C-alpha cells in the first residue's frame, strides 16, 4: 500500500512530490524501500533548507543518513552519505550554534567520510563539499574565537579552487548564509574601524536589503545581528539597533534557532549599557553572556564584557567593573580577538576616573595604551574615542592646549560621518577647547 502511494505520487503527481518530498519519503520508508527513502528524505531536507525550515531540515537529513547506515556500503551510497552529512552542518549551525558540540561533530563526521572515500580512490565529485566542511570548522573557530585554528583553516582554503558568489547564491543553504551578505556585513565593521562610518552604514544597509531580497531566514538573521552589533551600535544608532534586534528575536523564535535567539541578547544589553540603562544592562548582559556561551561561542566576549564593566561602574560597583575588564583582557589574550582591544582599554581608563577616588595616572596609562593600539591597527574610530577620553582628562587637569592638539588632528582626518555620535561629540569637545 505505502509503495503504491509513493509511486503514484512520484509518477503521476510530480508537482505534489516536489512540494512535499517528505510525504514520499515517509511512504517509501514504510514500504521498506530504503534507497528510495534515502533519496526522498534527502530531497525533503534540501527543500526545508531552501525554505529556512531549519529544525525540519535537520530531522529529515538525519533520517536519510540513518537509512544509509542500514545498507551495505557502495560508492554511490558513500557519495550520497557525504552530500547529506555536509548538508546537515548548516541547519545544526543555526539550531545549536556555530561552535556547539553538535556542529563540530557534524563537521568532523563529514570530513571523516570524505577522507575515507578518498582513501578508497573515490574523490568527491563536487570540490565545494570539502570547502563546506572546512568552512564549518573555520566558522566554529571564529565564533569560539581560536585565532590560531582560523589561520590554519584559512591556509587550507587557499589550496582549494575559489568560486564566484554571484553565480552561487543557492550555496547559502550550504554555508549557512549568503556570502555576499557576509562580506558586506563584515566589511561594514572594517570600514567603521578604519574611520569611514558612512561607508560602513551603506554596506550594512545593502547587506540587509540583499538578505531580505534573498528571502532566506538564516541570512536575514545573520544580517540583522551583525548590522546591529558591528554598525549601528558603534555609530550610536541605538534605536535602529534595537528595532533590528526585535526583528531578529521574532524571526529566531519563528524558526526555532537557538544561536540567533541568544546571540541578540548580549547585543541588546550593550545597547542598554551605552544608553544609560545600567541596571537593565547588567541583568541582560549577565544572562545573555551565559546563554551565548552555552552555544560554545566566545566571539565578541571582550566587547560584551567591556559594556558590562561600564554598566557596573555606572552603578558604582567598581569591583565588578574591574573583574569584567580583567575577563575581557584575558579573553583578548586567549583568543586573539583584538578588534576591540583599544576600546576595552579606553573603557578601563574611563572606569578609573569614575571611582570615588579617581586615579588619573591609571586612567592616562589606559588611554595611552588605547591610542597606541588604535594607531597600530589603523583603527581611526577607536583612536578618535581614545583621543576624546584623553582630551577630557587633560582638559580637567587644565591642559587645554595639549588636549586640543591631541584631538584636533584625529578629528580633521575624517571625511565622512559627521552626523554620527562620536564625531558630533568630538566636534563639541573641540569647540569647547577652542573657546
How far is residue 4's CA from residue 313's CA, in Å, rounded to a whole number? Answer: 70
pLDDT attached to residue 422: 98
Using the predicted structure, report yes or no on whether residue 262 has a pLDDT greater than 70: yes
pLDDT attached to residue 13: 45
pLDDT attached to residue 276: 96
Using the predicted structure, report yes or no on whether residue 375 has a pLDDT greater than 80: yes
Q: How many Cα atoms sit within 13 Å of 418 on the Cβ side?
A: 8
Predicted confidence (pLDDT) per residue in 302-332, tens digit: 999 999 999 999 999 999 999 999 999 999 9
Using the predicted structure, report yes or no on whether residue 17 has a pLDDT greater than 60: no
pTM of the model: 0.75
- The grid coordinates of residue 246 equal 526585535
Greater confidence (123 vs 147) lies with 123
Greater confidence (62 vs 356) lies with 62
Contact (CB, 8 A) for 257 and 57: no
Nearest one of 54, 139, 136 to 91, comparing CA atoms: 54
Question: b/e for 221-260, b at 16 or more Cβ within 10 A?
Answer: bbbbbbbbbbbbbbbbbbebbbebbebbbebbeebebbbb
CB neighbour list of residue 362: distance below 8 Å, 6 or more residues apart: 349, 352
Q: What is the mean pLDDT of residues 406-411?
A: 98
Q: Give the DSSP letter of residue 358.
A: -
Q: How confident is the model at residue 166 (pLDDT cuts 50, 70, 90)?
A: low
Query: If you write DSSP's letter for every residue of 52-77 in order, what string do you get?
Result: T-HHHHHHHHHHHHHHHTTS---HHH
Q: How confident is the model at residue 99 (pLDDT cuts 50, 70, 90)?
A: confident
pLDDT attached to residue 19: 66
- The grid coordinates of residue 72 equal 551495505
Predicted confidence (pLDDT) per residue in 20-73, tens digit: 788 777 767 887 878 888 888 889 998 998 888 999 999 999 999 999 999 999
2-172 falls under which CATH superfamily? Answer: Tetratricopeptide repeat domain (1.25.40.10)
Predicted confidence (pLDDT) per residue in 376-390, tens digit: 998 999 999 999 999
Q: What is the mean pLDDT of residues 2-24?
A: 61
On average, the pLDDT of the chain sits at: 88
Q: Rounded to a whole number, what is the largest CA-CA distance in the chain?
A: 91
How far is residue 355's CA from residue 348's CA, in Å, rounded to a whole number? Answer: 11
Residue indicated by cell numbers 572606569? 351
pLDDT attached to residue 150: 62
Ordered by start, the domain boundaries in the chain are 2-172, 177-256
Q: How confident is the model at residue 162 (pLDDT cuts 50, 70, 90)?
A: low
Greater confidence (170 vs 231) lies with 231
Q: How confident is the model at residue 134 (pLDDT cuts 50, 70, 90)?
A: confident
Amino acid at each position: 500500500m505505502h509503495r503504491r502511494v509513493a509511486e503514484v505520487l512520484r509518477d503521476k503527481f510530480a508537482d505534489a512530490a516536489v512540494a512535499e518530498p517528505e510525504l514520499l519519503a515517509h511512504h517509501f520508508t514504510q514500504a521498506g524501500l530504503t534507497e528510495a527513502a534515502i533519496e526522498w528524505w534527502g530531497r525533503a531536507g534540501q527543500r526545508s533548507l531552501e525554505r529556512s525550515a531549519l529544525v525540519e531540515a535537520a530531522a529529515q537529513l538525519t533520517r536519510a543518513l540513518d537509512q544509509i547506515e542500514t545498507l551495505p556500503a557502495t560508492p554511490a551510497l558513500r557519495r550520497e552519505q557525504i552530500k547529506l552529512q555536509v548538508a546537515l552542518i548548516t541547519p545544526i549551525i543555526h539550531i545549536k550554534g556555530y561552535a556547539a558540540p553538535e556542529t563540530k561533530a557534524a563537521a568532523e563526521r563529514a570530513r571523516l567520510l570524505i577522507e575515507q572515500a578518498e582513501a578508497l580512490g573515490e574523490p568527491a565529485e563536487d570540490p565545494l563539499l570539502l570547502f563546506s566542511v572546512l568552512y564549518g570548522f573555520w566558522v566554529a573557530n571564529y565564533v569560539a574565537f581560536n585565532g590560531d585554528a582560523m589561520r590554519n583553516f584559512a591556509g587550507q582554503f587557499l589550496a582549494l579552487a575559489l568560486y564566484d558568489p554571484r553565480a552561487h547564491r543557492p550555496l547559502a543553504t550550504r554555508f549557512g548564509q549568503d556570502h555576499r551578505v557576509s562580506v558586506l556585513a563584515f566589511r561594514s565593521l572594517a570600514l567603521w574601524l578604519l574611520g569611514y562610518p558612512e561607508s560602513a552604514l551603506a554596506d550594512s544597509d545593502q547587506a540587509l536589503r540583499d538578505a531580505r531580497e534573498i528571502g532566506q531566514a538564516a541570512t536575514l538573521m545573520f544580517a540583522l545581528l551583525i548590522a546591529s552589533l558591528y554598525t549601528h551600535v558603534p555609530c550610536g544608532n541605538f534605536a535602529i539597533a534595537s528595532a533590528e534586534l526585535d526583528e531578529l528575536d521574532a524571526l529566531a523564535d519563528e524558526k526555532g534557532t537557538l544561536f540567533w535567539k541568544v546571540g541578540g541578547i548580549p547585543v541588546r544589553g550593550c545597547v542598554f549599557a551605552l544608553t544609560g540603562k545600567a541596571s537593565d544592562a547588567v541583568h541582560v548582559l549577565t544572562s545573555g553572556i551565559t546563554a551565548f556561551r552555552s552555544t560554545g561561542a566566545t566571539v565578541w566576549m571582550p566587547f560584551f564584557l567591556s559594556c558590562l564593566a561600564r554598566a557596573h561602574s555606572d552603578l558604582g560597583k567598581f569591583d565588578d567593573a574591574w573583574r569584567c575588564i580583567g575577563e575581557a583582557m584575558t579573553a583578548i589574550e586567549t583568543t586573539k580577538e583584538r578588534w576591540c582591544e583599544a576600546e576595552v582599554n579606553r573603557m578601563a581608563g574611563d572606569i578609573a576616573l569614575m571611582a570615588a577616588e579617581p586615579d588619573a595616572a591609571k586612567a592616562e596609562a589606559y588611554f595611552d595604551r588605547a591610542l597606541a593600539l588604535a594607531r597600530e591597527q589603523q583603527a581611526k574610530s577607536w583612536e578618535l574615542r581614545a583621543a576624546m577620553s584623553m582630551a577630557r582628562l587633560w582638559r580637567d587637569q587644565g591642559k587645554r592646549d595639549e588636549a586640543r592638539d591631541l584631538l584636533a588632528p584625529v578629528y580633521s582626518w575624517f571625511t565622512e560621518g559627521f552626523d554620527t555620535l562620536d564625531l558630533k561629540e568630538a566636534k563639541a569637545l573641540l569647540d569647547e577647547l577652542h573657546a
